[in-house]
Chains A and B, each alone.
Chain A
Amino acid sequence: MSVSSATTEVVDPVPGAAAPHLPEQPDLVQLLTPEGERVEHPDYAIDVSAEELRDLYRDLVLVRRWDVEATALQRQGELGIWASLLGQEAAQIGAGRALQDGDVAFPTYREHGVAWTRGVDPLHVISLFRGVDNGGWDPVATAFNLYTVVIGAQCLHATGYAMGLQRDGAESATLAFLGDGATSQGEVNEAMIWAASFSAPVVFFCQNNQYAISVPLERQTRVPLYQRAAGFGFPGVRVDGNDVLAVLAVTRAALAAAREGQGPTFVEAFTYRMGAHTTSDDPTRYRLASELEEWKLRDPIARVKAYLSRSGVADAAFFDSVEAEADELAKRIRTGTVEMPDPPGTAMFDQVYAEQTPTLAAQQAEFEAYQASFEGSEHR
């Protein structure tokens, strides 16, 4: 299997390759091996049509291309920063595609793949990292909350929203995203206590990408993260986060249980951040290149491509069309970013309150008068 585009950085899996630094994981739910072989799991059957499989592949390739383009735009000075999802595409697409109408997602700041599944325009995510706004999408219309930068704070919001769903008698659930580092936060633990006590319809979806910026998982926990759930009194499951089918199956099951009134589930998607924490980070200072090479063998996209090819579900023309679509998307993102206007100065005063205070109105008037004093001057 070869991959046509270097920019998407899809790495061919090596059949039978060992993963020397990964301990054996009997509890890991997997439906598609790194080599692209379909396997069954007794608890998580999944029936996906050929079309769904192709759509998942397309999602994975497009969000990776978006991500690669955004990283390039940051390097060229068009974005202030970018938080790359490289390597976590399957975890995010699988989780996002498990959501149904009525469900609401509560992301961190890296869930670009989930945003994609909710129909959020990539430029509305880009605008945050360009410094134009705090996210340009409508969190109500997309059922995708705005990015939350304070680590773990959104887990409580997802739990509270789920308590609202309960009160409304809605058969929906919330999906709270968090990382391995966030599991150390008090608020995340409080969210799990609340969720358990009120049996709230929330699924905690933890992407364990092995590092909290530079600090490895061993500093956050002495037990596998999914086992923490038992202490809170609800199920925890570890899924191969690089296997989009397994993530989809596990998250679907967890959301279905929540909607049916069975309360929360903790899903640990075992994955790897193949890029830097953000464009400001230098991962060579804290992890070995060999580790990255090992994880490249578990690439989330290559295994789907291998499976699609081998099973005859997709042909070369399909892969070419997805590449062409990715090229178009990258072009649209690039053009849209470069042409994105700065917001007007008064935007910072807008919507601080539903009812603006006289104090702030006075400051806004002062600001506008000050700006107007430069009319016709070069000092603008």
Chain B
Amino acid sequence: MTETLTIGKALNLGLRRAMEDDAKVVLMGEDIGRLGGVFRITDGLQKDFGEDRVVDTPLAEAGILGTAVGLAMRGYRPVCEIQFDGFVFPAYNQIVTQVAKIHARSRGKLPMPIVIRIPFGGGIGAVEHHSESPEAYFAHTPGLKVVAVSNPVDAYWGIQQAVAHPDPIVFLEPKRRYWEKAEVDTGATPGPLFASRVVRGGDDVTVLAYGPMVKTALQAAEAAAEEGRSVEVVDLRTISPLDLDPVFDSVRRTGRCVVVHEAPVTLGLGAEIAARVTETCFHSLEAPVLRVGGYDTPYPPSKLEEEYLPDLDRVLDAVDRAMEF
């Protein structure tokens, strides 16, 4: 059955299906019950599944993650909503020292099937702490997996796959794209969660993006085509583990690679990807791997975010530099 869904509604339906499929799934977070979440991602779920399965928690992120650990030890599958990216840091200790390590610490006796949903990224004109891209912190932490969805289809299937997965997953939702629509075939068989995907074919330059930047990369590819440049776009989809084989195949053909993310460039995902592409595709490269990202500043006040965030023009500029090298 095919429906037109926004990313937000696709997540809502995906969560509903995950809860129907497994009675051990428990949603936890601030304002997710009666209100349905500040972005309404859990709208209507408490009404249908009850207060024990959609839990309005006290206002403390470490408490959400720490009690999720205990529930997971008891056999539950907690799905924690962090209201905004910048509010994950009070829970950082639990995520990094406990959620990520307990499976290894217990030599597999204590699985941690916890999903940490985080609306991430900027572009919504918000105040401080509501527009950040913290993915590199989590991708740097062994024991965690990190995925970022970019469209309603991946949102619908990805959240269900993440909830069913045995390892802890930081599930990044592109908040400024929550209202983007697409056709979702809810009867289809989904592809694997931890796989990148070529979303536009091209021959001259490979542009890599994830989450909210996939749309920007596609817009840039469209504009480049008008100038006669053929840009291939890869939606990375999974940030940890990275699935770079399709990227290597692409770069071996194009010889050029640009990585785009909102997060600050220094030690961001682009750095890791550039290193791996260089290690693997060194003899195919016609230009160094270039990075387009946020500047190494705190996320600026919203009147400056258009200058801070990578946009179509900054991606095209990098494509030009790669071509001219």
Contacts and interface: CB of A to CB of B under 8 A. Distances in A.
Interface stretch (A47-55, A214-222, A355-363): A355-363
Contact of B105 (A146, A158, A191): A146
B236 to A, nearest CB: 13
Nearest to A162: B70
Contact of A354 (B58, B97, B103): B103
Nearest to A149: B97
A134 B98 CA distance: 13
B97 A153 contact: yes
Given A156-B67, A161-B70, A161-B74, A139 B108 contact: no
B107 A351 contact: yes
Given A157-B98, A197-B58, A168 B104 contact: no
B64 to A, nearest CB: 9
B58 A355 contact: no
A21 interface: no
B165 interface: yes
A325 interface: no
Contacts of A165: 74
Contacts of B93: 150, 153, 187
Given A162-B70, A167-B52, A156 B63 contact: yes
B190 interface: no
B103 A157 contact: no
A141 to B, nearest CB: 8
Nearest to A357: B241
Given A140-B109, A351-B107, A357-B241, A153 B66 contact: yes
Interface string A143-180: 00110101001011111111111011000001000000
Instruction: With a 10 A CB-CB cut-off, give which of B109, B143, B165, B166 has the most chain A CB atoms.
Output: B109
A18 interface: no
A366 interface: no
A193 interface: yes
Contact of B106 (A139, A190, A193, A360): A139
A133 interface: yes
A350 interface: yes
Contacts of A193: 58, 60, 63
Contacts of A160: 66-74
How big is chain A's contact interface, by range? Answer: 35 or more
A44 interface: no
A359 B241 CA distance: 6
B270 interface: no
A134 B70 CA distance: 19
Nearest to A176: B70
A190 to B, nearest CB: 4
B71 A161 contact: yes
Contacts of A153: 66, 93-94, 97-98
Given A164-B75, A186-B62, A354-B167, A159 B105 contact: no
B58 A138 contact: no
Nearest to B72: A160
A351 B105 CA distance: 8
A155 B93 CA distance: 13
Contacts of A350: 104, 107-108
Interface string B103-140: 11111111100000000000000000000000000000
Interface in A344-380: 350-355, 357-360
A133 B107 contact: yes
B153 to A, nearest CB: 23
B74 A150 contact: no
17 contacts: A148-B98, A150-B97, A150-B98, A153-B94, A153-B97, A156-B62, A156-B65, A159-B66, A163-B71, A164-B70, A167-B26, A186-B62, A190-B63, A350-B107, A351-B106, A354-B108, A354-B111
Interface of B: 26, 52, 57-58, 60, 62-63, 65-76, 90, 93-94, 97-98, 102-111, 142-143, 145, 165-167, 194, 240-243
Given A150-B97, A155-B66, 9 more contacts: A153-B98, A156-B69, A159-B66, A160-B69, A160-B71, A191-B63, A350-B108, A353-B103, A354-B167
Interface of A: 133-135, 138-140, 145-146, 148, 150, 153, 155-165, 167-168, 174, 186-187, 190-191, 193-194, 197, 350-355, 357-360
